[in-house]
Structure 1
């Protein structure tokens, strides 16, 4: 019997929650290892062997070590998904999934993720600029979700898992979701999936920016 996957994380990181959510959806046994990042645990030599850039999340799957959340969730579905295709059923769907993974690493990271880094973690970033980028993205996403249940098709895919965490917690970064009904409905559909697991929440700053 193999040991559970070890997930090295910060419990308030959306990147880490992205991986935890995927493992939970796949019903893969895992255990979390919360790193004391304030005291440099992510830069310790032993951890750098797992995550050479000293970042979270990282996993140790019985000797297979990986970092980068999008890389990890791709590995997880390729390794553990049984009767469900998370990466798209057609060439077009696969390309769209990849597009949204790129958005997760780009526009989501520089928009709602960056805004939340300022308010939750005190990161020295341009909060006003990050909020503006978040709203520019959400306008596009809300339109993309008009008439469809999920980002790529009528089925949940990696695209939705990669996008969920920072968008669901955008209000913690001062980014209101009030103007985006399709996004809010999409978030609810993800939260209704079997084995959904929530991320730790942080106080919502006020006033929330529209």
Structure 2
């Protein structure tokens, strides 16, 4: 049995990131579902794994990781022999890191926050989150993807994986991609990758 354990929640775009890369790299792993509705992520047992009480969490033998983009970096460095998911070139690697930061801040504060607001009735300013999302799409993603197929270089990287889930589910936060053809085409390119698992819809999971 694989030594890798992924503490997962299907509705979490953060958890989707390592789940997607594990499957793209064809790595065997054990899924451990975390029942956040019952507060399992705040239980003493889970807090021993991730003191912040957040999903995903990840274990590979003695390695314990608690942040989704950190897990992506680990998987790419340890299990991708071809070094395509995280380029070894310093400039390209730095560019990947810049996009990982975008996924953790701007995407989180925009499409992710808007989705959380609508799906879970979280106390978030939905209008402000929507505004941030459109500003992000207008100033960064759409112009960049008009000229490039991928966020970094000529092949998909963990930058694409990190930014995919919450943009692919932007409609669940009442954000439309109708005016962003290049973002939409980029999402389709990712979803066409062999072995890629799409972010599931909230309607299917919550039905």
TM-score normalised by the chain length of structure 1 = 0.92
Alignment of structure 1 residues 156-195 onto 2, 5 Å: 156-195=156-195
Name the SS for the 2:160 alignment partner. helix
Query: What does the per-residue CA deviation read over 1:106-129, in whole Å, with 9 as the maximum and x for residues that have no partner?
Result: 100000000000111221100000
Determine the structure 1 residue equivalent to 2:54.
Answer: 55
**Aligned pair 1:120/2:115, yes or no?**
no
Name the SS for the 1:164 alignment partner. helix
Name the SS for the 2:146 alignment partner. coil
Higher mean C-alpha displacement, 145-154 vs 13-22: 145-154
Name the SS for the 1:52 alignment partner. coil
Determine the structure 1 residue equivalent to 2:93.
Answer: 94
Task: Decide whether the 8 Å contact of 1:3 with 1:62 is kept in 2.
Answer: no
Alignment size in residue pairs: 203
Measure, in 2, the Cα distance between the counterparts of 1:109 and 1:180.
Answer: 19
Measure, in 1, the Cα distance between the counterparts of 2:177 and 2:83.
Answer: 30
Alignment of structure 1 residues 20-59 onto 2, 5 Å: 20-59=19-58
> CA offset at residue 200 of structure 1?
2.1
Measure, in 1, the Cα distance between the counterparts of 2:51 and 2:81.
Answer: 31
Q: CA RMSD in A?
A: 1.4
Name the SS for the 2:147 alignment partner. coil
TM-score normalised by the chain length of structure 2 = 0.93
Measure, in 1, the Cα distance between the counterparts of 2:177 and 2:90.
Answer: 32
> CA offset at residue 4 of structure 1?
4.6
> CA offset at residue 89 of structure 1?
4.5
Determine the structure 2 residue equivalent to 1:108.
Answer: 107
Measure, in 2, the Cα distance between the counterparts of 1:148 and 1:3.
Answer: 37
**Stretches of 4+ aligned residues off by more than 6 angstroms:** none
Task: Decide whether the 8 Å contact of 2:77 with 2:83 is kept in 1.
Answer: no
Determine the structure 1 residue equivalent to 2:79.
Answer: 80
Consecutive unaligned residues in structure 1, runs of 5 or more: 205-210
Consecutive unaligned residues in structure 2, runs of 5 or more: none
Quick check: which one's helix share is greater?
2
Determine the structure 2 residue equivalent to 1:133.
Answer: 132
